[in-house]
Chain A
Amino acid sequence: MEPAGNLPDSMVLKILRSEGAPDEAIRHLYRTQYGIVKNHINQNNGSDEDAQDIFQETILSFIDMVKKDKFRGESSIGTILFAIARNTWLNELKKRGRAKLRDEKFEKAKEGTEMDVSHFIVNRELKAELMQVVDSLGETCKKILLAFYYENLAMKDILQHLQYENEQVVRNKKYKCLKQLEQMIAGQTQLAKNLQSILYE
């Protein structure tokens, strides 16, 4: 499962570790790995839609691993992505109650022989819950917080982008938005606890 595209693994990792946009690396992963994952899922009771969902989850988990420096290229990206996708799909099958005995047997058999990536596979429901919390923020709040924390834009750039009067207004708005989100998370004790357990691993 060597990458077939023109980006070597080292370059993909470099892009994903950086604070810059990961778009090109993600596109490369789709071009080189999506077909393999899709085939696996199709061959194991999954539809094309399942394959699409699982691959998105796989990409997110993989980027998370890279950013936490839990993957440094010990194996090829193809190998680790396949392992993540396979585990994610197995979890999904179990959840749907369709995991067959052979899957369980196989899972036991692979223990110790295959890379264990289960720690890095964030529970899909928990992630969906987290997304819902952020989604319930107002559009302006989302824009400001995303611009600052995800796109890493400077205040003056956010000011131009969102057309506020001055930087202080943006700063105050950002303060309020983050505080609002913090309170929403604090209001859901169990979610906060679960998030802490998975995000700080």
Chain B
Amino acid sequence: MPGKPNWPKTFNPYYMNEHFTNTDQLIQYLDGELEGEALTNLQQKIETDKNLAAELENLRLAKIAVKTYGLKNTVRNIHTEMMKELQTAAPAPVIGMRRILQYSFRVAAMLVLVAGAAIVYQYYAATPAQLYNDNFHSYNLRESRGNNNYSKLEDLYKAGNYTAVMDQFKQLAAPTTEDYFLEGIAALNAGNASAAIQSFLALQQLNKVANTHLLEEDATYYLALAYLKNNEPASALPIFEKIHADEGHPYHRNVSSWFLRKLRRLAK
């Protein structure tokens, strides 16, 4: 610059002022605040002045660095926040699941053991009386498949007066199949198993003679129960086995394999 003193750059007020102006303009340019003639002039200067272009480049890097720094801080803050949220919302840790599974398996194993012990106990503790009690259900007269001419016995049975049924039966000169059946059921209800056995056997004999099958399936089932009640498991076993083997038998469902297993042990 002609006429100006030859000062070193750092003390040169013209240089400092010019440099300041340039940097200020570069920043305005970077921020998109420069326009018109000032913008055109600066763009021309940048094209010709390598130092100015380098300064602009570094300013641009500085701006990007700030943006990156800000974003990194944002991500870091959100990360901290989200780690708390995700930990709260996370399912139980694997170790917890393992413990739950282990506990479940232990409980299941315990249940299996308890169930196994109960089965073994049931098997060895079973008695003919217990099997009878578990399977005996008083006969419902509405299920009667015969005729209803014996109304007096029926009325007494319905009234639950079983000994009266048995007494009345003894008065009959020629009992029918139905009479024998009612008397047998009444005897079982009254706890007289041997009388019940006699009645059911008589019923079967009567059917055999008459070549009929009146109440035969019911009588067979209750005869077997009467044998149990009378502590004669060996006599009951073949009858129950026959019912179990016959899927069409009306009492088939009442005779399970498990029931037969217990009965076989008792019949030995």
Contacts and interface: CB of A to CB of B under 8 A. Distances in A.
Interface of A: 21-23, 26-27, 30-31, 34-35, 52, 55-56, 59-60, 63, 127, 130-131, 133-135, 142, 145-146, 149-151, 174-175, 178-179, 181-183, 185-186, 192, 195-196, 199
A178 B68 contact: no
Going nearest first, the 9 A-B pairs with the smallest beta carbon separation are A150-B70, A30-B82, A181-B62, A134-B69, A182-B58, A182-B62, A149-B66, A145-B66, A186-B58
Contacts of B86: 30-31, 34-35
Interface residues of B, number: 31
A195 B69 CA distance: 14
A30 B86 CA distance: 9
Given A149-B67, A175-B27, A26 B74 contact: yes
Chain B contact surface mostly? helix
Interface in B67-98: 67-76, 78-79, 81-83, 85-86
B258 to A, nearest CB: 50
Contact of A30 (B23, B70, B78): B78
A135 B69 CA distance: 8
Interface string B138-162: 0000000000000000000000000
Interface of B: 23-24, 27, 54-55, 57-59, 61-76, 78-79, 81-83, 85-86
B61 A196 contact: yes
A35 B83 CA distance: 11
B58 A134 contact: no
Contact of A199 (B27, B59, B61): B61
Contacts of A150: 66-67, 69-71
7 contacts: A27-B82, A31-B86, A35-B86, A56-B75, A142-B69, A149-B63, A195-B64
B79 A199 contact: no
B62 A185 contact: yes
B66 A134 contact: yes
Given A182-B55, A182-B62, A52 B69 contact: no
Given A150-B71, A178-B27, A130 B65 contact: yes
Given A63-B71, A149-B67, A23 B62 contact: no
Nearest to B81: A27
Given A60-B72, A130-B68, A178 B79 contact: no
A196 B69 contact: no
